[in-house]
Amino acid sequence: MAFDFKKEERALYQPKTQPSIIEVPRMNYLAVRGQGDPNQKDGAYQQAIPLLYGVAYTIKMSYKGDHQIPGFFEYVVPPLEGFWWQEDGAAMDYGKKDQMHFLSLIRLPAFATPQEVEWAKEQAAKKKKQDFSSVEFFSYEEGLCVQCMHMGSYDDEPATVRSLHEYAAAKGYAVDITDARFHHEIYLSDPNKCEVSKRKTVLRLPIRKMEQEKK
């Protein structure tokens, strides 16, 4: 049976709707960087998604070809994720989506090295006659975070984000959004196939102990 990160690492992908604190380890991703309203048709975000999946599925299906990746095992391609931020580093302003910066992500299994990602980009470009050069190997350790499952529309996320801030504060932590730590979303539902009210999105924010705040 193919390895499924969502099932094997439930703490990361299946949190409860009530906030909780988690230590997130270093993970490797395919990533595409950009800026703009994620809902804009043919915008930077909409263009990034097929690039990620093109490379992700090239790696996933590599075992059926001549290129054998050391340590390969069959797996389910993990869900689409995104790190989001705005220039001022403040709380996300959902009314200014055109000012959003993003790192659109798909997690990689450990055997997918930077060299294998470059191979997959070349193969995807040959097959699809498309430029995949914007896809990069991205390694990142989130560290201490507060998270929960958000149910429903993306536009209703601010209320859930507030609950994460409140929970963190009650536990002695402060949300720690910086130019190196980001608002994180994991999209467990296909918005084209799932009713809005049933959409599942993991919301995760970096935190630090309050005594670490700068004087």
Per-residue confidence band for 215, with pLDDT thresholds at 50, 70 and 90: very low
Q: What is the mean pLDDT of the chain?
A: 94
Q: Please state the pTM of the whole predicted model.
A: 0.94
Question: Residue 73 gets which letter from DSSP?
Answer: -
| Percentage of the chain modeled with pLDDT above 70 | 96
Q: What is the pLDDT of residues 15-38, one digit of tens each?
A: 999 999 999 999 999 999 999 999
Instruction: State both tokens at 166.
Output: 């409140």
Structure tokens at 48: 């990034």
pLDDT for 59: 98
* Secondary element (H or E) of residue 151: strand 136-151
Give the H or E element holding residue 42.
none
Residue 212's pLDDT band, with cuts at 50, 70 and 90, is low
Mean predicted confidence (pLDDT) in 185-205: 95
Find out whether 93 and 99 touch, Cβ atoms under 8 Å: yes
pLDDT exceeds 80 at position 186: yes
